[in-house]
Structures are given as C-alpha cells and as structure tokens.
Amino acid sequence: MSASLFLFRLIPPRADFAQTMTDAERHAMDGHTEYWRALLDAGRVVVYGPVADPEGVWGLGVLRGADRAEVLAIGEADPSVLAGVNTFEVLEILGGTTG
C-alpha cells in the first residue's frame, strides 16, 4: 500500500507564543524540533516549519502515512504535545503528489 499525504497543523497555546515562550515551553519546542528533524531524516516528512500567519505563528508539516490513524499517533508522540504545550490537527491531502 502506498503512503498518503497528510497536513499536520501544530496549534500553539496563544497567538504570541513564538515571542513569549517560557523556558519550559522552549524546552518542549526544542524536543519538537528534534522529533520533526528525525521524521524528515527518516523520509516520513515532506516539509515542515513555522507559518508566518498574521493571526499568530503555527506549525505546518506534510507527512507520508498509511492512514490518518498513523499520522495521529505521530502527532500524539510530539514532545510539545506530550508536554501539554501544543495541540494539533491532521487532515488528509486528497490525491496529493510530490515532486
């Protein structure tokens, strides 16, 4: 079975989170960054990074996965989610292709 593509949106706790992180939140985000770099290195992630939304920065990732449940499990294991700092949502990219 080939992998599908999924949009992962990391939702911070407040609009100014990128500018006002506490030390504990920054530590959780350092773990988040390491986690996503490992996913990228393993070929699970197509692209990831912060989005400069005028309403507040949030995180975007595009992942390869067998199904939504697999990608939800990846999100639930994100250190920033485990620390209770961020939440997330996952949406399938219908018919998505990569170059």
Give dist(CA 25, CA 80) in Å, integer: 8
Model confidence, pTM? 0.91
pLDDT attached to residue 96: 80
Would you say residue 88 has pLDDT above 80? yes
Residue with token string 């706790």: 13
Residue with token string 């988040």: 32
Give dist(CA 88, CA 42) in Å, integer: 21
Would you say residue 1 has pLDDT above 60? no
pLDDT attached to residue 95: 86
Would you say residue 2 has pLDDT above 80? no
Tens of pLDDT, residue by residue over 27-75, are: 999 999 999 999 999 999 999 999 999 999 999 999 999 999 999 999 9
pLDDT attached to residue 97: 78
Domains of the chain: 4-93 (3.30.70.1060)
Virtual torsion, Cα 30, 35, 37, 40, nearest 10 deg: -160
